[in-house]
Each structure stands twice: as structure tokens, then as C-alpha cells.
Amino acid sequence: VRTNQLVNSAHLLALSQQEELEDLPKDYPLSPSEDEGDIDGERKHQKLLEAISSLDGKNRWKLAERSEASLKVSEFNVTSEGSGEKLVLSDLLGPVKTSSSLATVKKQLNRVKSKKTVELPLNKEEVERIHREVAFNKTSQALSKWDPIILKNRQAEQLVFPLKKEQSAFAPIEHVLSGWKARTPLEQEVFNLLHKNKQPVTDPLLTPVEKASLKAMSLEEAKMRRAELQRARALQSYYEARARREKKIKSKKYHKVLKKGKARKALREFEKLQKANPTAALEELEKIEKARMMERMSLKHQNSGKWAKSKAIMAKYDLEARQAMQEQLARNKELTQKLQVASDSEEEEEGAEEEGELVPDAVNEIQMDANGPNPWMLRNHLRGTGEAKVRDPEKLPEPVAHEASESEEEERPGAEEEILLNEFEERRSLRKKSTLNQDTEPVSRQEPKDSSSKEVLSELRALSQKLNRENQQCGKQNMSSTRTVPAVQREEPAEVEEEPLLLQRPERAHTVEELEELGKEECFQNKEVPKPMGEGQQSERNPNNQPGTPKEKKRKEEMIDLQNLLTTKSPSVKSLAVPTTVEELEDEEERDQKRMIKEAFAGDDVIRDFLKEKREAVEASKPKDVDLTLPGWGEWGGMGLKPSAKKRRRFLIKTPEGPPRKDKNLPNVIINEKRNVHAAAHQVRVLPYPFTHHQQFERTIQTPIGSTWNTQRAFQKLTTPKVVTKPGHIIKPIKAEDVGYRSSSRSDLSVVQRNPKQLSIRHKKQLKKNSVD
């Protein structure tokens, strides 16, 4: 409203300025009365208009004749009538050039000429249209404040409705009751009954009697009672806390002292009572007696309780526990004792004996142990030391005669580890000897490397190794040195060992050597003699192996045809050092297993089947040549006659070769290049709408959302529903206040009832703008 008023005032200001402009010729001497006011100006204006309209000369006379109207009469007595001459504008303007005093007139004239007529007011429809447009613009501007919220809600991962949590309103029963009135006669009757009893209907729900009773207790009384109660509560809590604290104390001494103190106190009190009131004391005594009897009857202090049992175990080691037990026994004795005062020395002795019996064995045992060494324990200890002693000679290094120690070990069933270690050593030495033999027979290196022979050899290998070992063992027995073993015996194993060696790469061999070294360091710290020999042997072998063969082998491997990868057997890599020994152990099992597998799959050759299948697939996928020969066309045709080779050649259309197969270089794979029709039925054909690239879509499909692949938390997050509604809750339309906007405090109605004039004022500016257009 205010803005409208402002606009209005501005408009008025503009109008007044215009008037000032019109008043400009104030200083003109010929028209001194011009400053009289608006009306005067208007009149002048009118006159001027008349004068101008009379310029064309047609109705000049007519105007002059209709002179009874005051309008035509000038107060300055300046009229054009009677002059009889035609006044031309150019005549008027002629002298203007010379006299400057006529400049203002000229200006006025110019202005009059330039001024248009005032337009008609806009018709009603037009005005309404403008109003509507303005209102629409305003409204849509106001509505666009919702844009961010709506966008947010549309993109939200999850929306929970109702948006605003409503507080559940509890209506007190009185309110419900007060809102309800008895209407039917029955209800009224019931109400009357209730009212007779003065049953309260409204808050507080107390009958007058109750109210009276409430009033009966005075304030002081209530306060006192409350204080009392408070004190009692405080005391109780204090005692409770104390008891808890005491209960927590773990010190046995403290508890003992406490108990004793209590007993003493009781005794003192009893004595006091005896003095003061013998009868009461007697009663008390009786009570005590009864308690003792009860205790006697019970199984307490009988060494059968949990505590006693645990103590019995502990008593072996713990002096204190022993004491506690003895104390308990004493108490038991005291309790179980008959109350005959006559206590003989004999009985005491008996008791002592009993005590001895009652104390568990363990206690005694420990005592014995404490006195002297426990024979059992002693035995154990001795055994341990004895073993250690027995072991010691073994551990003693035997630098020269290793074989001798071996024999010793074999004889004695010692620790298993020992045996294993020795065996290992034995095998190692054995292998060395065999490699040594290799050196002696260089012929063995030139071996046929056919796969077939290899297979045979590998089978032979195990057998020969075993044989070898047996030989060695007997050799050990017979000869002192193994170096002079007949070459014939060693030939075969040497070959066997050589075979894998050849297939190995140099690095691999190197690592094997390293392994060997390691093994040596491990086991042969004391075995000084064989070590240099072994090393020499290696150095001998290495130059033999490395310079020529490995490189050749390498080249050969490179040249291996990819197609034949499947058919050739993968070379079994056998290291020189450890595996040989292990193999020997597992040989039997392996062979068995192999045989079993072979027997089981005797019928089918999987590899050949696969190759055949692949060949077929390749053939099938190859484009076929088109044969267009027509038999009998241009030559004789019939049964048993074939078109000539020349003709066939002529009419055979060869199709160009397609692109190479994807599995061309993959020997053990068949890639089907035809689209799978069965799978296609389940596949999405076009990229669905929100996705822009097929990879995007595939990624969403490939990310699993189930709990099988995701953690519980992730699963919950992935499966949150987009819209959540609570059953039984009314979802109200979104409100400006809910989303943080200030809703218009003014009611919609108040605006409607306002003066509609203001509305038009508001749009005046707009109207004007429109009219200019």
C-alpha cells in the first residue's frame, strides 16, 4: 500500500512539474495575470487552441457570431473579429526572427503543435488483462521460492512421511468427560447417581472425603513426618553403604579380628548379664547351647565343604592354609566333643591321632617333602637329568666319522626329531655322491629328450633311487668310503637327475644351489670334510652346465609352438636339493594315485576331445565357398558323372577370409563368436532412460545389493526405500514453516476484503506502461 502511495505521490510530483513548465512564460510582460492559477492557464490554453483552429479561416466568422458564450470572450479585449483579414501563421512567425520578445510565443506554439490529444481510457477487458498479468507474474514469482525444496525432494534418497513429527496429544479424561453430556434418559439417570455420590468429574479426581482427609493433616505435621522419613532413608543408605564397604574388604586378618571382637563382646555381655540377671543369662546360655547343638548336627566343620576341600589342596604348599585347616579341625573337635567336662589325657591323645587321620594325605606329603626330598619328585627329576645326560653324548660333535654316528642313531630309538634330522643328512650325503657320479660320467648328459622316453624315465627314477639307497646302505656297511662305488650302479640315477636339470632355466638352477648351500649351513656345521668336496663338485658342474646348454634351452622354449602347448607335457621341475629327498618319501603314494587316476580316466582323452571340438568350431565359423557349377550344363551329365575340374574351378566363388578368430592364439580356449540367442532373451536391448552409457548401466547391474555380498550396514543402506510412510499417520500437505520459509502472516481473507480501489492504484504504473506501448 505504501509503495502505491509513493508511486502516486511521485506521479503527482511529475504533474506539478509539468505545470511549472507551462508557467514558464510568467515573466512575459504582456500576460501579467497568467500566474493566477490553473484555471486561468486552462482558459488561456483554450483560447490559444481556438485561435489556432480559427487560422484556417473557414469558421472564423461563425465563431465570432456565436459570441454570447462567455468562453469566446477574452478579458483582454483582444479578438480577431472585426479585423477581416486572414491571419496566416507565417505572418505571425515572420517578425519572430527579428524581435526576440516573441520567442516565448513561438515556443508555446511549437509546444501546441507537438502535443497530441489525450488518449481514451483503456477498455475494461484490457485493464483486467493487465491486472491478471501482473497478478500472475507476482504469484509465479512467489511460487518459485518452492523450486529448491521441490528439487531436493525429488532427488532425495529417502523421504519419510509425515514430514513433521506431530506430538501426540493426550486429552485428560476430565476434558473428555466435560465435553460429553448425558442426553438419553438412561444416561441422565446414571449421571444423577454419580452426582449423588459427588463423584468428581473434573480435575482433581478426588472425592470430598478424600479431600477432607487430605486437609486433616496440618502442614507442620506433614513436614515433620517428611523430615523423619528423610532421616530414616539417609540412615539406611548410610548403613547399606557401610555394609557394602565392609563386605568388600578382603583382608582375612581383618575379618578374623572382627569375628574375634564380636565373640569377645558377646562373652562380655553374657558375663555382664550373668551378674545382672542370672535368669536371663541362663536363658542365653541355653540359646548358645542350642546353637552349638544345631551346629553339631550340621555338617559344618567336617572337612567336607567346598572351602575345606580347596584348603586341603592348597595345604600342600601353603602354610597358612594348613593352619586354617588345623584351626577348623580343632573347632570341629571342640564342637563334636561331648560336653562331659571330664577330659582325659587319653582322649586328647586320641584326638591328636584323629587329627593326624583327618588331615588329608597331601598335607602330610608336603611335610615330608619339606623335610626331605620327595622320592617321587626325586625320581622325576632324576629321569630328566638322566635323559639330558644320555642326550649329551649325541650332541657332541662327530666331525670325522659321521657315518658312525648314523649307525648309532639307527640303533637307538631316541627322540623322533633326532631321527628325522639324521635321515635328512644321510640322504643329503647320498645325493652328493650321486651328483659326483654324474661328473664322472659325462656321457649321460647326451640323452634323448623325447617326451616318451622322459615318461619312462620318470617312472624309472623313483625305483632306481630306492635301489640306489639300498645299495648305499649296504655300501656303508661294507666300505668305509663311498667315493669308490662302481659307476655302473650310479649310472641310472644320474641320468634321471640330469633330465630336469636340462629343462631348468639358469636362475632356477641358481636358486637350487642356494638352497643347497642353506641346507649345508644348517646341518653341516660340524661336518667339515664333505663340504669342500661338495663345493668343488658344484664348481665342477657349473661350468659344464651353464655356458652352453641354458641358452640353447631358452631359445628352444621361445620357439615352442603355441598350438602344441596342450599336447606337450608340462616339464616337471625338480630341484636338486630337497625335492629329491621328499620325492623318495612320497613316491609310493604318488605312483599309486597316478595309477588310480589313470585307471579311472582310462577311456577318455580330454585333451584330444577338446582339440577336436575346437577344430570343428573353427571349421564351422569359417565362411564357406559358393559352388555355382551346374552339372550337365555344357557337358554330359548323369549318374556317376561329375562336372569337370575346370568347370568347377570356374564357377567356384571363394569367399574372403574373415577377421582372425579371437581364440587363435589361445590354445586352451574356445571363444564363441556367435551371439547367444538364448541369453539374448534375457538381456536388455536398449539403454534404459536415466543412463547415458552402457557401462554405467552394466556397473549398476554388476554391483550386488544383497546381504550375501554386503555387510549388514551396507545392505541396509543399499535397500533403503525411497518413500517411507508410517501406518496410521495422516500426511499433511507440505507447509512453508516446515521447510523454513516464513508463510505470509496476513490471512488470505484480509486481503480480499480490502478496498479494491487500492488494487487499481497499484497497477497504475503498469497500466501506464502498457498504454505507452
Q: Which of 139, 110, 119, 12 is nearest to 52 (CA)?
A: 110
Closest separation in Å from C-beta 152 to another protein: 11
Q: Is residue 153 near another protein by the rule CB under 8 A? A: yes
Q: Is residue 446 near another protein by the rule CB under 8 A? A: no
Q: Is residue 613 near another protein by the rule CB under 8 A? A: no
Rounded-to-10 torsion of CA 352, 354, 360, 363: 10
Among 35, 42, 133, 605, binds another protein (CB under 8 A): 133
Closest separation in Å from C-beta 419 to another protein: 18
Closest separation in Å from C-beta 683 to another protein: 7
Q: Is residue 735 near another protein by the rule CB under 8 A? A: yes
Among 28, 191, 524, 715, binds another protein (CB under 8 A): 715
Closest separation in Å from C-beta 688 to another protein: 4
Closest separation in Å from C-beta 165 to another protein: 15
DSSP calls for 478-543: H-S-STT--HHHHHHHHHHHHHHHHHS-HHHHHHHHHHHHHHHHHH-SS-TTHHHHHHHHHHHHHH
Among 636, 727, 740, 757, binds another protein (CB under 8 A): 727
Among 49, 88, 143, 596, binds another protein (CB under 8 A): 143
Angle (CA) 625-630-635 rounded to 5° is 135
Q: Which span sits near another protein by CB under 8 A: 350-358, 400-408, 453-461, 679-687?
A: 679-687
Which amino acid is located at 118 in the chain? V
DSSP calls for 328-345: HHHHHHHHHS-S-S---H
Whether the bond between 486 and the residue before it is cis, its omega within 30 degrees of 0, is no
Closest separation in Å from C-beta 763 to another protein: 10
Residues 741-770, mask of contacts with another protein (x by CB under 8 A) = ------xxx-xxx--x--x-----------
Size of the chain in residues: 773
Query: Which of 139/526 has CB closer to another protein?
Result: 139
Q: Is residue 723 near another protein by the rule CB under 8 A? A: yes
Residues 169-198, mask of contacts with another protein (x by CB under 8 A) = ------------x-xx--------------
CA separation for the pair 634, 617 (Å, rounded) = 38
Q: Is residue 276 near another protein by the rule CB under 8 A? A: no
CA separation for the pair 523, 539 (Å, rounded) = 21
632: left (phi over 0), alpha (psi -120 to 50) or beta: left
Residue 489: exposure state from Cβ atoms within 10 A (0-12, 13-18, ≥19): middle
Q: Is residue 701 near another protein by the rule CB under 8 A? A: yes
Helices 451-478 and 416-440 pack at an angle, to 10 degrees, of 110
Query: Which of 96/159 has CB closer to another protein?
Result: 159
Q: Which of 678, 674, 680, 679 is nearest to 661 (CA)?
A: 674
Closest separation in Å from C-beta 415 to another protein: 12
Query: Which of 567/719 has CB closer to another protein?
Result: 719
Q: Is residue 679 near another protein by the rule CB under 8 A? A: no
CA separation for the pair 570, 592 (Å, rounded) = 21
Q: Is residue 526 near another protein by the rule CB under 8 A? A: no
Query: Which of 133/269 has CB closer to another protein?
Result: 133
Among 204, 730, 740, 742, binds another protein (CB under 8 A): 730
CA separation for the pair 279, 350 (Å, rounded) = 38
CA separation for the pair 433, 656 (Å, rounded) = 65
Q: Which span sits near another protein by CB under 8 A: 125-133, 242-250, 399-407, 526-534?
A: 125-133
Q: Is residue 381 near another protein by the rule CB under 8 A? A: no
Among 544, 716, 760, 771, binds another protein (CB under 8 A): 716
**CA distances for 550 relative to 505, 509, 539, 578, angstroms:** 6, 10, 16, 22
Q: Are strands 652-653 and 626-627 parallel, antiparallel or unpaired?
A: antiparallel
Closest separation in Å from C-beta 160 to another protein: 10
Query: Which of 17/153 has CB closer to another protein?
Result: 153
Among 11, 43, 72, 131, binds another protein (CB under 8 A): 131
Residues 6+ apart with CB under 8 A from 611: 566, 567
Helices 319-336 and 345-358 pack at an angle, to 10 degrees, of 130
Check if the beta carbon of residue 766 is closer than 8 Å to that of residue 132.
no
Query: Which of 77/144 has CB closer to another protein?
Result: 144
Contacts made by residues 10-13, CB under 8 angstroms, sequence distance 24+:
11/764
Check if the beta carbon of residue 96 is closer than 8 Å to that of residue 89.
no
Q: Is residue 708 near another protein by the rule CB under 8 A? A: yes
Interface with another protein (CB under 8 A): 128-129, 131-133, 135-136, 138-140, 142-144, 146, 150, 153, 159, 161, 181, 183-184, 681-685, 688, 700-702, 704-711, 715-716, 718-721, 723, 725-736, 747-749, 751-753, 756, 759
